[in-house]
């Protein structure tokens, strides 16, 4: 089982090479997809494809920057003259002078710019590629460990927020019958006071029939403000969040969808608020859900 991982991390690795000391750094932050950028000197450009493929095979999401640099020591890999190329150029210059006596002699700059005359010692391409990939493997392992530590911390924080959501839902569920009864009683009293005399005077309804009609309206209103279904869905979604975090792997998109569903239920609770306790519970839930959403943006 692959643990939950954050998209934020940093790692570096270094290796000696024939070009000098190679340093490779990896930085990653959150992104919806894999967004990879490479920065490397021209001496290492031949390894670019292998570096890209290796990173893409191990990282699924995140904005990743891979920076490679080579530090050359004093007197290390200094340019040198190729004696054979220099002799060849001298022979050609002599032939030109014999055949074109009026031609200007070549300058030192012309000699140095002639292809093959100046050489910079380098590494064998296969050896250099292996050294770069070895440094990359070390950095990727360190980056993965860094992202796992960050992911574990985020998962722990989210599980604590799941506990708080369940606590709010449990408290609201326990208080809901009393709140509903209180609202029904107050609404019945107000309807009785406002409509009872008018309905009795304007129709042939008996007092008992008017009372029954008011009771039906109060019951209908109570059904509309019932939040049992929303609370059950909240707890079901929270259980799914726990299951996804426990399963691990790339959980970001799945959890983001669950946050939308949790927020939908919190909004429905808010729209049914008939008491200050229900309004406060809805606000508390929205704050917790938004905190979780922000943390999920960093998860792979």
Is position 4 within any domain?
no
Q: How many CB atoms lie within 10 A of CB 243?
A: 10
Query: For residue 163, what are the domain limits?
Result: 151-296
Q: Tens digit of pLDDT for each residue in 44-80?
A: 888 999 999 999 999 888 899 999 998 876 555 566 7
Q: Are residues 225 and 102 in the same domain?
A: no
Q: Are residues 107 and 133 in the same domain?
A: no
Q: Are residues 140 and 155 in the same domain?
A: no
Q: Are residues 176 and 272 in the same domain?
A: yes
Q: Are residues 90 and 105 in the same domain?
A: yes
Alpha-carbon distance of 71 to 281, in angstroms, equals 60
Alpha-carbon distance of 225 to 262, in angstroms, equals 18
Q: Are residues 164 and 47 in the same domain?
A: no
Q: Are 258 and 203 in contact (CB under 8 A)?
A: no
Q: pLDDT value at position 229?
A: 79
The arithmetic mean of pLDDT across residues 111-136, rounded, is 80
92-96, 108-112, 165-169, 188-192: range with lowest mean pLDDT: 188-192
Q: Are residues 210 and 132 in the same domain?
A: no
Q: Tens digit of pLDDT for each residue in 189-245?
A: 665 666 556 555 555 555 565 566 656 655 555 555 667 778 888 999 999 999 999
Q: Are 162 and 241 in contact (CB under 8 A)?
A: yes
DSSP category for residue 47:
G
Q: Are residues 88 and 202 in the same domain?
A: no
Is position 193 within any domain?
yes
Q: Are residues 52 and 101 in the same domain?
A: no
Alpha-carbon distance of 146 to 7, in angstroms, equals 9
Is position 3 within any domain?
no
Is position 1 within any domain?
no
Please indicate whether residue 37 or residue 113 has the higher confidence score (pLDDT). 37
Is position 209 within any domain?
yes
Q: What separation in angstroms does the CA of 211 have from each of 40, 194, 217, 245?
A: 84, 12, 10, 53
Q: Are residues 109 and 32 in the same domain?
A: no
């Amino acid at each position: 089982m692959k643990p939950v991982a954050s998209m934020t991390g940093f790692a570096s690795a270094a290796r000696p090479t024939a070009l000098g000391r190679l340093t490779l750094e990896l930085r990653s932050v959150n992104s919806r997809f894999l967004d990879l950028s490479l920065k490397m000197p021209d001496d290492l450009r031949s390894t670019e494809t292998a570096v890209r493929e290796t990173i893409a095979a191990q990282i699924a999401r995140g904005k990743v920057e891979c920076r490679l640099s080579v530090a050359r020591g004093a007197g290390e890999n200094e340019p040198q003259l190729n004696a054979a190329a220099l002799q060849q150029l001298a022979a050609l210059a002599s032939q030109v002078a014999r055949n074109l006596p009026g031609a200007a002699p070549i300058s030192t700059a012309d000699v140095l710019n002639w292809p093959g005359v100046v050489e910079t010692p380098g590494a064998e391409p296969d050896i250099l590629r292996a050294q770069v990939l070895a440094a990359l493997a070390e950095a990727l392992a360190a980056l993965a460990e860094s992202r796992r530590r960050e992911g574990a911390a985020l998962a722990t924080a989210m599980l604590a927020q799941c506990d708080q959501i369940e606590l709010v839902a449990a408290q609201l569920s326990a208080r809901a019958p009393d709140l509903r009864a209180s609202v029904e009683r107050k609404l019945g009293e107000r309807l009785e006071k406002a409509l009872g005399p008018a309905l009795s005077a304007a129709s042939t309804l008996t007092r008992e029939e008017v009372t029954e009609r008011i009771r039906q309206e109060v019951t209908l209103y109570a059904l509309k403000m019932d939040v049992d279904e929303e609370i059950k869905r909240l707890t079901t979604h929270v259980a799914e969040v726990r299951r996804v975090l426990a399963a691990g792997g790339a959980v970001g998109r799945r959890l983001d969808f669950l946050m939308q569903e949790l927020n939908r239920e919190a909004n429905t609770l808010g729209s049914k608020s008939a008491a200050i306790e229900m309004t406060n519970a809805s606000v508390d839930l929205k704050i917790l859900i938004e905190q979780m959403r922000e943390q999920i943006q960093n998860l792979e």
